[in-house]
Amino acid sequence: MDLTKGNIKNLIMKISIPASMGFFFNTLFNITDTYFTSYIGVTALAGLSLSFPVFFILISIGSGIGMGVSALISNSIGEGDREKALEIARDSVSLSIIIGILITIFGLYFNKALFELMGAHGEALYYGLKYTKWTFIGAVFFCINMVFNGILVAQGNTATYRNFLVVGFFLNVILDPFFIFVLNTTTDGVAIATVLVQMIGNVYLYFKVKSSTLICGENYSIKIPKLKNILAILNQGLPASFNMMTMAVGVFVINHYIQRVGGENAIASYGISTRIEQLALLPAIGLNSAALSITGQNFGAKNFLRIKEVFYKTLGYGLIIMSIAMVIILPVAPFLFRIFTKNIHVIEYGIDYFRVELFTFNSYVFLNISDAVLRGLKYPKFTILIGFYRQFLMPMLLFPIFIEKLNGIFGIWIGIMVINWSAAFIALIYLKYIYNKVSKIKGRH
C-alpha cells in the first residue's frame, strides 16, 4: 500500500481498525488465560500476574525488533528502494531466530532470579515459574511472528496479523480448558497453549509475507543476515525493545510496592486490572500502527506536511476514543472483576485503582502517538530515556513518598497518574523539536 498518497483519514482507518481488532482479540487471549487460571485459585492468579513482567521481557525484544523492521522497510518503500526493503525483510527473519534462541537460553537461566527481584515466594512463585518456563522455551516462535508482522505493517497491512490473533483467541479458548481440566496442568498448561498458537501463527504468517506485494515472486529463503542490516535493525529496534523492557521493569517496581503494601490480593487485583485496562486502550493502540507506517513512508518520501497531519489526526482520534473509555470503564469494572474472582478484597482493590487510573488514560495516547511518529522519523532512542523516567526513576523517587503521604496503595495509583502525565508533556516537547529539525534539514514544511 502506497501511504505517500491519498486521504490521510482513510489510510488511518484502513490501518488502525484491523490493528485495533487484532489487539482486541490479543487482549481477549490474555483475559482467557486469566479467566481459566482463576479456577486454579487466587495464588495461581497472583503467580500469573507476577509472571507478566518476566513474559513481557520476551515480548519486548521481539516486538521492538518488529517495530524496527517496520520503520526501516517503510522508509525504504517511501524512498523507492525496493531492493533494500527486500534485503531487510529477508535478514530480519534470520535475526529473529537468532534472538529467539538467545532469549530461551538466558530466560531459562535467569527465570527464578527475576521473580525473586519482585519478592515472589511460596506458591505464587511456583505458579509463575511454571508459566514462564514454557514461554521462554517457545521464544523463537514469538519473535518470528513479530518480525513477520513488522514486514506486513510496513506495507500498510495490519489485517493479516489481526486474522491470526482472532483465530489464536478461539484456539486458546479451546486449549486452555483442555490443558487445565483434561490434562490437569496448571499455569504450565496455559503457557503451552500460548506457544502452540504462536507456532501455528508462524506457518500462516510466513505464507502471507511471501505473497505480499513486497516479497511476491522474490527469493525469500532464510540466509545468514548481513552485518550492516543486523546493525540497522538493532539500531532502530533495540530502543523500542528497551522502552518496552522498561515497562516490564516498571511492573517489577509496581509489583514490589504493591506486594509490600497490599499482599497477594492486591497483586492479583492489579493483574486483573491491567487486563481490563488493555480493553479500554485497544482502539487507540491501533492508531500507533497507522502513525508509524504512514510516517515512515512519508519520511522516506520527504512529505513532511503529511507527517504533521497524521500526527494531529491520530492524536485527535485517540483522545476521543480514550475520553469515551473514561466514561464507560468505572461503572462496568465491578462486573468485569466478578468474571475472574469472587474475592471481595481483590475486587475492592481493582475499583480503587480505576477511580484514579481512568484520569491517566489520555496520557497514554500522547505517549504512544509521539513514540510512533519518532520511530517513523528514525529517532527511536528517546523512548529509552522516557521509559526509564516513567518506569524506574520516578516510581522509585515518588512511590515511597506517596505511599506514606496518601494512605498506602492509593499513593501508588496517584503516583502512576502523575508520572505518566509528566512524561507525556516531555515527549510532546521532544517530538516538536525533532520534527522541526528533520523537516528543515531534509525537506520542507
Reported as a single tens digit per residue, the pLDDT across 310-362 is 999 999 999 998 888 888 887 888 888 888 778 888 888 888 888 888 888 89
Tell me if residue 276 falls in helix, strand or coil: helix
- Grid cell locating 188: 504450565
Tell me the whole-structure pTM to 2 decimals.
Answer: 0.74
Q: Decide if 286 contacts 19 (C-beta within 8 A).
A: yes
Q: Give yes or no for a contact between 100 and 139, defined as CB atoms under 8 angstroms apart.
A: yes
| Euclidean distance between CA atoms 76 and 319, whole angstroms | 31
CA-CA distance, 330 to 351, in Å (whole number)?
Answer: 7
pLDDT at 175 (0 to 100): 95
Quote the CA–CA distance of 43 and 275 in Å, as a whole number.
17
3-state SS, one letter per residue, for 385-443: HHHHHHHHHHHHHHHHHHHHHCCCHHHHHHHHHHHHHHHHHHHHHHHHHHHHHHHHHHC
Tens-digit pLDDT profile for residues 217-232: 666 666 777 888 889 8
What does the CA dihedral 49, 238, 313, 361 come to, rounded to 10 degrees? 20
Exposed/middle/buried for residue 269 (C-beta within 10 Å: 0-12, 13-18, 19+): buried
Do residues 281 and 367 touch, judged by C-beta distance below 8 A?
no
Dihedral angle computed from the Cα positions of residues 350, 278, 135 and 50, in that order, rounded to the nearest 10 degrees:
-20
User: DSSP string spanning 92-137?
Assistant: HHHHHHHHHHHHHHHHHHHHHHHHHHTT--HHHHHHHHHHHHHHHH
Measured distance CA(405)–CA(239) in Å, rounded: 35
Question: Which letter does DSSP use for residue 225 in this model?
Answer: P
| C-beta separation of 398 from 258 below 8 A | no
Q: Do 239 and 64 meet the contact criterion of CB atoms below 8 Å apart?
A: yes
Contact 86, 151 (CB under 8 A): no
**What's the mean pLDDT when you consider all of the chain?**
86
What per-residue confidence (pLDDT) applies to 387?
Answer: 84
What is the pLDDT at residue 441? 67
Residue numbers of the chain with a pLDDT score lower than 70:
1, 118, 217-222, 248, 441-445
- How far, in Å, CA of 158 to CA of 129, rounded? 33
Looking at residue 397, its pLDDT comes to 92
Alpha-carbon distance of 323 to 362, in angstroms, equals: 7
**Exposed, middle or buried, 105 (CB in 10 Å: 0-12/13-18/19+)?**
exposed
Radius of gyration of the chain (CA): 21
pLDDT of residue 63: 83
3-state secondary structure of 339: helix
What type of residue sits at position 306? R
Is the Cα torsion angle 390, 395, 401, 404 positive or negative in sign? positive
Contact 301, 79 (CB under 8 A): yes
Q: Where are the domains of the chain?
A: 1-225, 242-444
What are 44's three cell numbers?
495461581
